[in-house]
Amino acid sequence: MIDNLLLGFSTIATFPALFAIVAGVLIGIICGVLPGLSASTAVALMVPFTFGMDPVVSIVLLVSVYLAGEYGGSITAIAIGVPGTPAAAATMLDGYELTKQGKPGLALTTSVVASSIGGMIGAIILFCFSEPLANVALSFGAPEYFALAVFGLAIISSLASDNLKKGFIVMFIGLFLKTIGLDPFSGEERFTFGVPKLMDGLGFIPALIGLFAMASVFTDIDKATAKSRTIALSFAMPKIRQLLSMWKVYLHSSILGSIIGVLPGAGATIASFICYNEVKRFSKKKDQFGKGCLEGVAAPESGNNAVVGGSLVPLLTLGIPGSGTAAVLIGALMLHDIQPGPLLFQTNGNIVYGIFAGLFVACLAQLFFGLIGVPVWIKVISAPKALLLPVIASISVVGSYSYNNSIVDVWVMLGFGLLGYLLKKFNYPVSPIILALVLGGILEENFRRSLMISEGDFSIFVTHPISAVLLLFAVLSLLSPILFNRLAKVKS
Amino acid sequence: MLLKKMIAVCTFAVSALTITPAMAAYPEKPITLVCWSSPGSGHDLMARYIAKLGEKHIGQPIVVVNKKGGKGKVAMSYVLNQKSDGYVIMTNTRSMTKRLKPTGGSIAIDSFKYISRVVQDPFVIVVKEDSPFNTMSDLVTYAKNNPNKIKVGGYSTQSVDEGLVHDIEKISKINLNYIPYKGGKEPVVAVLGGHIDVAIANPSEMMTSFQAGKLKALAVTTEDRFSPFDDTPTLKEQDINNVTVHWRGVMASKDVPDEAIQKLDNMIQKVLEEPEFKKFLNSSNMLSGYISNDKFGEYVTKQTKK
């Protein structure tokens, strides 16, 4: 084991490899910050540049971009309430609250620290447990994925705990919007109105940009005047003791994030929300979540960066991508004549252990550049709204266009912008839509696939143990806030 | 060595200078190659290799543009809406043309000219290492006694995978339970996890698990056996008279002049001979599947008519 570790670090201890890590981290952070460029798009864009590179250097570069991209999304989520990546929508819940209170430094620093720790724990888990975790990925069939999606949706009860009814209304709007496109089994068109672009459904990234970025522009136009500034911001940073005291949150979320990362198809967004929910469930200051709680920033960030290590497990051991980004990585590996799969550890051990080591070093680089960046970001968001809003609006348009080179996506973005604006105006929570859009497809597809496999027998969902347990958790997590409320009422 | 290279470059430059004016004008500006899948996919990589290696053969840069959506419809309608001068061409696949009608409507098989088929991607029918099936006839016998009980996973509905399963059902007079998946690798994962019995997969999707001994291959769907599945008989050898391969190629809108089509076809033929392209095919487990433009159109029409 020590030999392998040394092999890994010696593989990447070359100037080009270290340079690739630093460059990858910087590129990743920048792509993460720009809405529309998610971590997976950033990696896909980098692939052509790696054609001529040494395999180790190119793969380390891509992994660094992936890791830092997942972190970078949280910066804008905290700073201006616009998640740069889908997973950062969970970070925004508490992060942006802190900015509104004039304390962005607290959230930004916590985010980079939690991300980097999450990434490192993810790398360690990848190194130590790749073999057993690969079996977890295989044990998930259609009913298990369905149950996971139900469990994910049940989080709404905690995201919208102050008004469950509104939360559910928004969730069902999201689930409905997710049905637009081709039916996954019969291939029939649903609500596409003859627009070919809509056959693939509403783009998720444009929807995200609309719901948060464009909607915040609309909302601010409603209120702001030309001279209004964002609230006075302090450069206050969290105390080291404060950061250290959250070690349980980092550990808990990183382990959870790695496991979710292992499951093909689940990915960082689900991990972020589940980690947020679980940390809140076990936290002593439950009532502070959603009002600017540092734990609420740390949990999703540790979680979504741990996903990176986790998603590499099925990639390296089975040749199956654990996330959309990992799918792109497989393509890049194959370009270099490296077949990810069960034999990779024997045939290309240096690459496998080089990736572990690279991921680890990339976390350190991310911590370093992330911390340097914090004051810069605070400066940026201190700009007057009259400057900030047009910039956000134009980045939103460009970002959603560049997602697929399609003007339809810009309309989708604007539509979601309007929806987000209306929801905010009438005090409905926005995040349940994100959950519904992420999970709706997994939910429907695996529900129907399960029934095809069982020939219409519904008991398949409870006779499979993993699925039964997840469904039970879902019911408990749905009912718990209602029960707690009852209890509180009885007490008082 | 250096001298040799210099001479080569000079001769190339001189010949380019002398030959170019003699040939017709096309192409006098960069060519756009529209690809209907996302960057980084196998399909996209093929387009990028054609672009990279084709430039020196056609004398103009080729730019790959991704127009994703609607199972290729977005890219097709984009190409059909451009000037038919041969400067905007696109990649195509069997699954894409399979969904089109032979004629009529805004997009049909006869809206295009087919430049050349580039690669073919055969199918391998696989089961888990501990499956009771060792040959197709084991599978057929079991299916005859247990209709609809064997769960066969493949990529998507109305796809080439599903067509293959239905063909096998028809020829062997059996009923299988076809389960569509969203990606090509998912059915293989489901077989490995024991969730379904059989998967229809392209070599690239199952190669590593097969080499590690976690999968057994029941049959390949080509005319002849191919490496590294030399021990796996074809469907034909097992009395199932069927050959099904997935393919990828290049096409242009139907009004593009034949001369341009011919030049593009020649370019692709040369690209296929490049060692770098051969290496790409090898590493992505695809076979060369060149069919020239005079036969490609007929081939596509034959596969579409139902």
Question: Side chain identity at A193, as an amino acid letter?
Answer: F
Q: Mean pLDDT for chain A?
A: 86
Read off the pLDDT of residues B80-89 as tens digits, 9 standing for 90 and up.
Answer: 999 999 999 9
Contacts of A322 in chain B (CB under 8 A): none
Q: Which of B216, B243, B270 is the last residue of a domain?
A: B243
Kindly state the percentage of chain A with pLDDT values over 70: 97
Residue B114 in any domain: the answer is: yes
pLDDT-based confidence at residue B17 (cuts at 50, 70, 90):
very low
Inter-chain touch A318–B186, beta carbons under 8 Å:
no
Residue B96 in any domain: the answer is: yes
Residue B31 in any domain: the answer is: yes
For residue A88, which of A117, A114, A63, A106 has the smallest C-alpha distance? Answer: A114
- Same domain for B180 and B101? no
CA A437 distance to own-chain centroid:
13
Nearest CA in chain B to A182: B70
Read off the pLDDT of residues A244-303 as tens digits, 9 standing for 90 and up.
Answer: 888 999 999 999 999 888 887 667 888 999 999 889 888 888 888 888 899 999 999 999
Question: Nearest Cβ partner of A320 from B158, B189, B279?
Answer: B189
Inter-chain touch A318–B209, beta carbons under 8 Å:
yes
- Same domain for B134 and B214? yes
Q: What does the alpha-carbon distance between residue A313 and residue A132 come to, in Å, rounded to a whole number?
A: 10
Give the alpha-carbon dihedral of B277, B281, B283, B286, to 10 degrees: 170
Residue A417 near residue A218, CB atoms below 8 Å:
yes
Q: Which of B228, B243, B258 is the last residue of a domain?
A: B243
Q: Is B147 on the interface with A (CB under 8 A)?
A: no
User: What's the mean pLDDT in B99-122?
Assistant: 89
Inter-chain touch A453–B192, beta carbons under 8 Å:
no
- Same domain for B50 and B192? no
Residue A450 near residue A144, CB atoms below 8 Å:
no
Q: What does the alpha-carbon distance between residue A367 and residue A97 come to, in Å, rounded to a whole number?
A: 23
Q: State the pLDDT at residue B57.
A: 93
Q: Is B293 on the interface with A (CB under 8 A)?
A: no
Residue A396 near residue A413, CB atoms below 8 Å:
yes
Q: Specify the CATH number for the domain of residue B268.
A: 3.40.190.150
Q: Does residue B263 register a pLDDT over 50?
A: yes
Question: Nearest Cβ partner of A331 from B45, B156, B207?
Answer: B45
Q: Which of B226, B243, B260 is the last residue of a domain?
A: B243
What residue has token string 């070599």? B203
Read off the pLDDT of residues B30-48 as tens digits, 9 standing for 90 and up.
Answer: 999 999 887 767 788 899 8
pLDDT-based confidence at residue A32 (cuts at 50, 70, 90):
confident
Nearest CA in chain A to B284: A334
- How many domains is chain A built from? 1
- Choose between A135 and B210: higher pLDDT: B210
Residues 55 through 114 of chain B touching chain A, CB cutoff 8 Å: 65-71, 73-74, 77
- Same domain for B111 and B256? yes
Contacts of B182 in chain A (CB under 8 A): 184, 445
Q: State the pLDDT at residue B306.
A: 56
3-state secondary structure chain A: CHHHHHHHHHHHCCHHHHHHHHHHHHHHHHHHHCCCCCHHHHHHHHHHHHCCCCHHHHHHHHHHHHHHHHHHHHHHHHHHCCCCCCCHHHHHHHHHHHHHCCCHHHHHHHHHHHHHHHHHHHHHHHHHHHHHHHHHHHHCCHHHHHHHHHHHHHCHHHHCCCCHHHHHHHHHHHHHHHCCEECCCCCCEECCCCCHHHHHCCCHHHHHHHHHHHHHHHHHHHHCCCCCCCCCCCCCCCCHHHHHCCHHHHHHHHHHHHHHHHCCCCHHHHHHHHHHHHHHHHCCCHHHCCCCCHHHHHHHHHHHHHHHHHHHHHHHHHCCCCCHHHHHHHHHHHHCCCCCCCCHHHHCHHHHHHHHHHHHHHHHHHHHHHHHHHHHHHHHHCCCHHHHHHHHHHHHHHHHHHHHCCHHHHHHHHHHHHHHHHHHHCCCCCHHHHHHHHHHHHHHHHHHHHHHHCCCCCCHHHHCHHHHHHHHHHHHHHHHHHHHHHHHHHHC
pLDDT-based confidence at residue A191 (cuts at 50, 70, 90):
very high
User: What's the mean pLDDT in B186-207?
Assistant: 91
Residue B217 near residue B210, CB atoms below 8 Å:
yes
3-state SS class at B260: helix
Q: Does residue A177 register a pLDDT over 90?
A: yes
Q: Is B42 on the interface with A (CB under 8 A)?
A: yes
Tokens coding A19: 């340079």
Question: Nearest Cβ partner of B71 from A137, A141, A199?
Answer: A199
Sign of the C-alpha dihedral, residues B280, B285, B288, B289? Answer: negative
What is the nearest CA distance from B58 to chain A, expressed in angstroms? 22
Residue B84 in any domain: the answer is: yes
Instruction: Name the residue range of residue B132's domain.
Output: 124-243
For residue B117, which of B248, B223, B263, B254 has the smallest C-alpha distance? Answer: B248
- Same domain for B62 and B115? yes
Inter-chain touch A453–B66, beta carbons under 8 Å:
no
3-state SS class at B158: coil
Q: Which of A32-36, B55-59, B89-93, B147-151 bottoms out in mean pLDDT, i.e. has the lowest?
A: A32-36
Q: Mean pLDDT for chain B?
A: 87
CB neighbours of B49 closer than 8 A, spacing ≥ 6?
B271, B276, B277, B280
- Same domain for B109 and B256? yes
User: What's the mean pLDDT in B97-122?
Assistant: 89
Residue B106 in any domain: the answer is: yes
Question: Nearest Cβ partner of A406 from B69, B188, B212?
Answer: B69
Q: What does the alpha-carbon distance between residue B59 and residue A114 come to, in Å, rounded to a whole number?
A: 52
Q: Which of A201-210, B28-37, B251-260, B289-298 bottoms out in mean pLDDT, i.e. has the lowest?
A: A201-210
Nearest CA in chain B to A50: B40
Residue B13 in any domain: the answer is: no
What residue has token string 């008082």? A492
- Same domain for B184 and B271? no
Q: Does residue A467 register a pLDDT over 70?
A: yes
Kindly state the percentage of chain B with pLDDT values over 70: 91
Instruction: Name the residue range of residue A353's domain.
Output: 2-491
Q: Which of B6-15, B53-62, B223-232, B295-304 bottoms out in mean pLDDT, i.e. has the lowest?
A: B6-15
Residue B2 in any domain: the answer is: no
What is the nearest CA distance from A417 to chain B, expressed in angstroms? 22
Residue B9 in any domain: the answer is: no
Inter-chain touch B179–A452, beta carbons under 8 Å:
yes
Inter-chain touch B207–A405, beta carbons under 8 Å:
no
Q: Does residue B270 register a pLDDT over 80?
A: yes
- Same domain for B224 and B157? yes
What is the nearest CA distance from A469 to chain B, expressed in angstroms? 18
What is the nearest CA distance from B39 to chain A, expressed in angstroms? 6
Provide the strand spans (E) within chain B. 31-35, 62-66, 88-93, 112-122, 124-128, 151-155, 177-181, 198-201, 215-220, 245-253, 287-291
Inter-chain touch A337–B41, beta carbons under 8 Å:
no
What residue has token string 């096409």? B251
pLDDT-based confidence at residue B21 (cuts at 50, 70, 90):
very low
What is the nearest CA distance from A3 to chain B, expressed in angstroms? 24
- How many domains is chain B built from? 2
Question: Nearest Cβ partner of B284 from A47, A334, A445?
Answer: A334
- Same domain for B48 and B141? no
Q: Which of A134-138, A309-313, A439-443 bottoms out in mean pLDDT, i.e. has the lowest?
A: A134-138
Question: Nearest Cβ partner of A342 from B38, B48, B212?
Answer: B212
Residue B14: its H or E element: helix B2-22
Inter-chain touch A342–B185, beta carbons under 8 Å:
no
Residue B286 near residue B119, CB atoms below 8 Å:
yes
pLDDT-based confidence at residue B20 (cuts at 50, 70, 90):
very low
Nearest CA in chain A to B180: A185
Question: Nearest Cβ partner of A47 from B40, B186, B207?
Answer: B40
